[in-house]
Chain A
Amino acid sequence: MSIESEVSLDGTTLTIAIKGRFDFGSHQDFRNSYERFYKVPDTYIVNLKETTYMDSSALGMLLLLRDHAGGDEAEVRVINSSSDVRKILAISNFDKLFDIN
């Protein structure tokens, strides 16, 4: 598991990429990945391209990010989810809170 985050050149978008398992063990790294930036971006992108597994505490972490990003006003996009991960997001109906594609 590794988590990398980077801000776009214009400072408006923060992209967080999660490799491997996205579960409780990633909790602190995931929080650090967005809390360490001083400037608040307009858009957050969670890239799950290389995420192999996701459990319910990972869903909880996405809720934390959404809360950090402003709750109902937040713009959080979840991209490149594999079919397994997408199933988990679908069962939880997280598409009602996040822009998932």
Chain B
Amino acid sequence: MSVLAPVLEPLTILIAEDSAADLLLLSTIIRRQGHQVLTASNGEEAVEVFTRERPQLVLMDALMPVMDGFEAVRRIKQLAGEALVPIIFLTSLRESEALAQCLDAGGDDFLPKPYNPLILAAKINAMDRLRRLQATVLQQRDLIARHHDYLLHEQRVAKAVFDKVAHSGCINAAPNIRYLQSPYALFNGDLLLAAYTPSGDMHVLLGDFTGHGLPAAVGAMPLAEVFYGMTAKGYGLTQILREMNAKLKRILPVDMFCCATLLCLSAQRRVVEVWNGGMPEGYVHEITTGKRTPLMSRHLPLGVLLAEAFDDRTEVWPMAVGDRVFLLSDGVLDTADANEQLFGAGRLRQVFAANREPDHLFEEIELALAAFRGEVRDDVSMVEITLQPGQSLRATGQLYADSGQSSPLDWSVSFEFRAETLKRYNPLPYLLQLLLEIHGLREQSGALYSVMAELYSNALEHGVLGLDSRLKRDAQGFAEYYRLRNDRLARLNSGYVRVHVQVVPTEVGGKMTLRIEDSGAGFDVEQVLARPLDIDRLSGRGLSLVRQLSSDVRWSDGGRSVCVEFSWEALA
């Protein structure tokens, strides 16, 4: 024993040999080496024993009655499948051709007679090493395959959830949005969200997370939730941005962030309000003049800065019916050709310049990218939103959770919002939530929110801040107006806006009276009301809207106090 290589682990070895003397001799040698022995006296028996006992290694005589060793080996190899069952031929044959035949038939090695115990033991050990190597490879292959299947399954589930979250808004339903997102990657890190506010404005977000795949999708979920939730409640861009930034900063690792453009398109007010942090510049396209105003990245991406340092300043641009806003992700500009040259903003502008039919812009950009490179990257996103005349204002969400019996119908409340609050707080979402406790008002929530929003911003901008709406008569004055608004608001240290709500039951249902007062200088009500209802002018649109949406509007106290009424009928 001591001269033999040590046996790592005892094996079960099948010996197929028609000579009883040879069988006895071999069995004795192998048992001495510490293995278990099974025997067969011809090929058929060998296949039977193999099927029953599954030995780990086979010693096979080549020439046997009933079934020879070559046929038995073929059958045993087939039975063994992917697992390696080494077979060593025992042969008195000497010609190369015969020896080669042993290996061709599926044998792994051969051992010439007479047997040398030392060589036999070494060959068994060598074959056992191969056997175990094969077993390890198979085991690891199966493990990897299982992990891979598992991963694919997880990604499919995550993508299904992600697609629901990312596309649950009005992105596919709104007639004025066109978008293109490359379908190649499971998740490409690009996120496109769109939803209506209670007053019928549209919020759109195009975002691009650092990295691809699951990590990007993980960040997209809370972002989408904040976007849809706060938009539906009537929050403005600045509050939504602050919440998104704070949330991402809290949950994402330091090296992950989200470049994003968030915009609010208002068909009623004919403006687009934009915040761009880290996205390539988008454009407002004036259809009549062909002019394209760039929407530059002015901020760090979302999730980088702490709340105190975050900059929520937005830009406001006027738009006419038919004008378009175009946004894109860096996948478009960073598409590289064979020499690693980037497509870039210059080539994009050439496509713009050559564009004759605005509806074909996407196709023309895709063609230009394809011609430049031959294939498009997996993270190309483009979206275009057209300003169309305002949709009819619809109620949002579920109308009646119950019969309205629990509605509060006889109450009043007053608020006074003072300078420090006016600077940084938008009370409208809170007020809307409060008023929607009255079930009868829910059907009119869109009109209610629009009227409330207009009267509040009139009180703040024309009253408290003393801004003249006539400044907004052209595009330049328009920008100046919003610059002044930010300036004066930042320096505000006195003044107030008061909101009084009174709800009373009536014979048929109920009536809500909303009165808004401000600390400003007031205005000449008769003169302003004498202006025609002209919704195509940049200025003065707010009052027209209020007069269209509510039956009764009354001013008092020299224009410093305005009162509107909303009434409803109880459901039968």
Contacts and interface: CB of A to CB of B under 8 A. Distances in A.
A63 B304 contact: yes
A96 B297 CA distance: 13
Contacts of A52: 340
Contacts of A64: 254-255
Q: State the 6 A-B residue pairs at the shortest beta-carbon distance, nearest first.
A: A60-B255, A92-B278, A56-B210, A67-B254, A64-B255, A60-B210
Contact of B254 (A56, A63, A90, A91): A63
Interface string B276-312: 0111100000000000000001111100100000000
Interface of B: 208, 210-211, 254-257, 259, 277-280, 297-301, 304, 330, 334, 340, 342
A63 B208 CA distance: 17
Nearest to A61: B255
A91 B259 CA distance: 10
A28 interface: no
A52 to B, nearest CB: 7
Interface in A54-79: 55-57, 59-61, 63-64, 67
A67 to B, nearest CB: 5
Nearest to A84: B342
Interface size class, chain A? 20 to 34
A63 B257 contact: yes
Nearest to B334: A55
A93 interface: yes
A97 interface: yes
A6 B24 CA distance: 74
A56 B208 contact: yes
Given A53-B340, A63-B257, A91 B280 contact: yes
Given A55-B334, A56-B210, A64-B254, 6 more contacts: A59-B210, A60-B211, A60-B255, A61-B255, A92-B278, A96-B300
Interface of A is mostly: helix
B217 to A, nearest CB: 16
Contact of B300 (A60, A84, A94): A94
A94 B256 CA distance: 14
A60 B340 contact: no
Interface of A: 24, 52-53, 55-57, 59-61, 63-64, 67, 84, 90-94, 96-97
Nearest to B255: A60
A93 B297 contact: yes
Contacts of B277: 93
Contacts of A63: 254-255, 257, 304
B232 to A, nearest CB: 30
B259 A56 contact: yes
A67 B305 CA distance: 12
B342 A92 contact: no
Given A56-B210, A91-B278, A92-B278, A97 B255 contact: no
A56 B189 CA distance: 11
A29 to B, nearest CB: 14
A92 B259 CA distance: 8
Contact of A97 (B211, B280, B298, B304): B304
B405 to A, nearest CB: 54
A96 B306 CA distance: 13
A91 B255 contact: no
B300 A97 contact: yes
A91 B342 contact: no
B153 to A, nearest CB: 25
18 contacts: A24-B211, A52-B340, A56-B208, A56-B211, A57-B255, A59-B210, A60-B210, A60-B254, A61-B255, A63-B257, A64-B254, A84-B342, A91-B279, A91-B280, A91-B297, A92-B259, A92-B301, A97-B300
A63 B257 CA distance: 10
A61 B211 CA distance: 12
A82 to B, nearest CB: 12
Contacts of A97: 300, 304
Nearest to B345: A87
A97 B259 CA distance: 15
A93 B340 contact: no
Nearest to A56: B210
Contacts of B280: 91
B299 A93 contact: yes
B152 to A, nearest CB: 21
A8 to B, nearest CB: 26
A92 B208 CA distance: 12
